């Protein structure tokens, strides 16, 4: 592992890497401080569509990490961008989700519906207030021919209390009810990684994706040629490594361990 190049820039996952629920992961604040002090480019890349960039900025601030809102690229933003490339502003959309996805869709001019009636697209982002009525309306819209889009495929959400159901679990319910396969945005989609790199202004070969989920963070990053840092203390755990054909470039327990390695390679 020691012959690997030191990455020049970072895309950083948040759930399971920076925090578990509302609890900071070991070394997270120190790692971000280190990047800021060394002026190393970084961007938070999260599949969690629940908060807006400003919401994430506030969440990190409360946890003692001070960064600006333009440091976040979320699956909600990626989904709204994808949709505005494919549907005109004003298109009626039925969305399951909270602030993050709703604000991103409104910002692109989409019309958010209260029921399935007239929906051309159904968008499913992480919704901690999911109800039967929301699942029912989405099911009706999809059955009536609306295009089915999911912001991200993550079936679980690691928290300080254990594993919670993630957006992929909500999508799975709609898939079961309708028999329709959704279009999935967010990691591991190459478009999401490439858009994040564009914002960072760095090339994949010098940039590392730091993540805790094999199927999204690591597999997706490998496909576009990013360096990969897999942290075993999050969603996939050490077990996850067995599901990879190409091992990650770096494997650590948490950011504290990775930071130690980085510091030992400081010139």
Which of 15, 127, 154, 249 is catalytic? The answer is 15
Backbone angles phi, psi at 163, to 5 degrees: -90, 125
Shortest CB 85 distance to Mg ion, Å: 26
| Cβ distance to Mg ion smaller for residue 17 or 123 | 17
Pairing of strands 207-211, 227-231: parallel
Cis peptide bond upstream of 188, omega within 30: yes
Query: 96 with 130: CB under 8 angstroms?
Result: yes
| Cβ distance to Mg ion smaller for residue 212 or 249 | 212
Distance of alpha carbon 201 from its chain centroid, rounded?
Answer: 19
| Cβ distance to Mg ion smaller for residue 116 or 254 | 254
The binding site for Mg ion (CB under 5 A) comprises: 13, 15-16, 212-213
The CB-nearest residue to Mg ion is 16
Shortest CB 213 distance to Mg ion, Å: 5
HSE-CB at 254 with a 13 A cutoff on CA atoms is: 16
Query: 66 with 35: CB under 8 angstroms?
Result: no
> Is 13 designated active site?
yes
Q: Which helix (H) or strand (E) holds 162?
A: strand 162-165
* Distance between CA atoms of residues 122 and 264, nearest Å: 49
> Is 70 designated active site?
no
Give strand pairing partners of 19. 15, 24
Shortest CB 203 distance to Mg ion, Å: 24
| Cβ distance to Mg ion smaller for residue 97 or 140 | 97
- The answer for residues whose C-beta is within 8 angstroms of residue 136's C-beta and 6 or more apart is none
| Cβ distance to Mg ion smaller for residue 15 or 127 | 15
Shortest CB 187 distance to Mg ion, Å: 9
Report H helices in 89-242. Answer: 99-107, 132-143, 167-178, 190-200, 219-223
Shortest CB 185 distance to Mg ion, Å: 16
Annotated active-site positions, please? 13, 15
């Amino acid at each position: 592992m020691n012959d690997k190049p030191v990455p020049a820039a970072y895309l950083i996952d948040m759930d399971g890497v920076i925090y578990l629920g509302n609890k900071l992961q070991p070394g997270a604040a120190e790692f971000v401080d280190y990047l800021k002090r060394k002026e190393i480019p970084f961007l938070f890349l999260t599949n969690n569509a629940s908060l807006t960039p400003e919401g994430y900025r506030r969440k990190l601030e409360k946890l003692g990490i001070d960064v600006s809102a333009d440091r976040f690229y979320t699956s909600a933003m990626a989904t709204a961008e994808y949709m505005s490339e494919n549907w005109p502003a004003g298109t009626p959309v039925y969305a399951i989700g909270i602030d993050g996805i709703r604000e991103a869709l409104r910002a692109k001019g989409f019309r958010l519906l209260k029921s399935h009636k007239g929906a051309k697209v159904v968008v499913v982002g992480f919704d901690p207030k999911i109800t039967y009525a929301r699942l029912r309306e989405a099911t009706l819209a999809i059955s009536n021919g609306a295009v089915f889009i999911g912001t991200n495929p993550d079936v679980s959400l690691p928290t300080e209390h254990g594993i919670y159901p993630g957006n992929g679990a909500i999508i799975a319910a709609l898939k079961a009810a309708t028999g329709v396969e959704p279009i999935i945005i967010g990691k591991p989609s190459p478009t999401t990684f490439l858009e994040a790199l564009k914002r960072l202004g760095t090339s994949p070969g010098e940039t590392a994706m730091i993540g805790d989920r094999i199927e999204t963070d690591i597999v997706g990053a490998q496909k576009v040629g990013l360096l990969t840092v897999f942290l075993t203390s999050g969603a996939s755990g050490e077990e996850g490594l067995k599901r990879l054909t190409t091992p990650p470039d770096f494997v650590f327990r948490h950011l504290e361990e990775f930071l130690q390695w980085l510091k030992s390679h400081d010139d």
